[in-house]
Amino acid sequence: MGWDGQQGRERMRRTLLLLAIAGLLAACGYRPLGTSSPPSNGGRVSVEAITNETMRPGIHAMVSAALLRQLRLQGVEGSAGPGPPDLVLSGSVTAYENDAIAFDSQDIGKRFRVRVTLLATLVNRGDGTVRLKETVAGEAFYTAGVGAVGARNAEDEAAGIAARDVASKLVARLLEEW
């Protein structure tokens, strides 16, 4: 087979590997230490649109999706049960950092840290009192891939991991409040 056959097989291997990893990640449910059940007071949370104050397009959507997933895993997301949720969670991604932390012999960044910072506010729907106002940061590390596309893909993957880290930390903090 020629070069096209080898490239096709390599693409197929990568695709299958990514699908397998995505399946494993979707099947794994993170539960913070010390929490075994949703709040006993029956509190449910709805998530308002997360805003983006950074120059990184789409990071707010990653954080929103990760927050919804974590809240559902803990059984406190607003869609379960009759009536509106008791609490409203809103927030803004206030910072997105992508810093080189290791360099090659020509001082070109090879290893990077992505950090996502979220300012979150939890408000009681009934009386409007602020139950929690917290800044939470999540981070992930990646090694730059070959070429611009490889580096961008690696950064995108790390941004998603950092968004999930923010969500895990925030939901763990919310569960501590209950």
Residue type, 8: G
SS3 label, residue 75: coil
Phi first, then psi, for residue 36 (nearest 5°) are: -120, -10
- Each of the 178 residues of the chain gets a pLDDT tens digit; together they read 445 566 666 776 777 666 656 554 444 443 333 333 444 444 678 888 899 999 999 999 999 999 999 988 887 765 545 667 788 999 999 999 999 999 999 988 999 999 999 999 999 888 889 999 999 999 999 998 788 898 899 999 999 999 999 999 999 998 887 6
Helices 147-177 & 59-74 angle (0-180, nearest 10)? 40
pLDDT in tens, 62-75: 999 999 999 888 87
First to last CA, the chain: 62
Distance, in Å, from the CA atom of 111 to the CA atom of 85, rounded to the nearest integer, reads 42
Reported pTM: 0.72
Ranges of each domain in the chain = 31-177
CATH number of 31-177: 3.30.160.150
Distance, in Å, from the CA atom of 160 to the CA atom of 168, rounded to the nearest integer, reads 12
SS3 label, residue 101: strand
DSSP 41: T
Residues facing residue 51 across a β-bridge: 92
